[in-house]
A and B are shown apart, each in its own frame.
Chain A
Amino acid sequence: DIQMTQSPASLSASLGETVSIECLASEGISNDLAWYQQKSGKSPQLLIYAASRLQDGVPSRFSGSGSGTRYSLKISGMQPEDEADYFCQQSYKYPLTFGSGTKLEIK
């Protein structure tokens, strides 16, 4: 199984700050990586797929990058509505696996 190691587990950011979250896959996943945002009490929502492609309707301050085994999600200019949990997921092969999540809070 492909293990997804996500870091940090939590972070706090000031409004307007740029933040990054990383995921490390235990083997190469050929950019088959997605990022999800889950706000408190809500269902997860797809932000990024294929490592860097923005899902329709997602603000452009969100971006994804990476290759091979290392991927990252960047939020350029933290907004109040970005306070949430974030998860990465490899879609390269079964079993599909998620990172353990990052709790992002406003400082």
Chain B
Amino acid sequence: EVQLVESGGGLVQPGRSLKLSCLASGFTFSNYGMNWIRQAPGKGLEWVASISSSSSYIYYADTVKGRFTISRDNAKNTLYLQMTSLRSEDTALYYCARRGMAHWFAYWGQGTLVTVSS
């Protein structure tokens, strides 16, 4: 069974940093591209970043480019999102998601909540 478990969320002040993790199990992690998607409270879904299986290809939404860094450690079956210069508009539930055969999101974690507030 595919499982994705996010962690690392919390309350952080504007301008500070936070690192999210997503531990994967139930599939060969090194074979799949991975993604971060977020959802602000009561709002829709926003794609944040994607990384290919070997980290060769990385993409970001314009809203986070230059502030967030997606990475992965295939030996640890873990996906990361390093977030810096956080803003109030980054407040959201952050989901880790595994891609399908193409760039859709076949499996989702339960999410980790990031709240940016002073």
Q: Size band of the B side of the interface? A: 20 to 34
Confirm or deny: B108 has a beta carbon within 8 angstroms of a beta carbon on chain A: yes
Cross-chain contact A94 with B104 (CB below 8 angstroms) = no
The A interface is mostly helix, strand or loop, or mixed, namely: loop
The 5 A-B pairs of least Cβ separation, nearest first, read A34-B104, A91-B103, A43-B108, A96-B47, A98-B45
Chain A: minimal CB distance from B32 (Å): 14
A28-56: which have CB < 8 Å to B? Answer: 32, 34, 36, 43-46, 49-50, 55
Confirm or deny: A62 has a beta carbon within 8 angstroms of a beta carbon on chain B: no
Cross-chain contact A89 with B106 (CB below 8 angstroms) = no
Chain A: minimal CB distance from B21 (Å): 17
Cross-chain contact A44 with B45 (CB below 8 angstroms) = yes
Cross-chain contact A96 with B50 (CB below 8 angstroms) = yes
Q: Please give, as numbers and ranges, the residues of chain A lying within 8 Å of B110 by CB-CB distance.
A: 43
Q: What are 20 A-B contacts defined by CB distance under 8 Å?
A: A32-B102, A34-B105, A36-B45, A43-B108, A43-B109, A44-B95, A44-B108, A46-B106, A49-B101, A50-B102, A87-B45, A91-B102, A94-B103, A95-B47, A97-B47, A98-B44, A98-B45, A98-B47, A99-B44, A101-B45
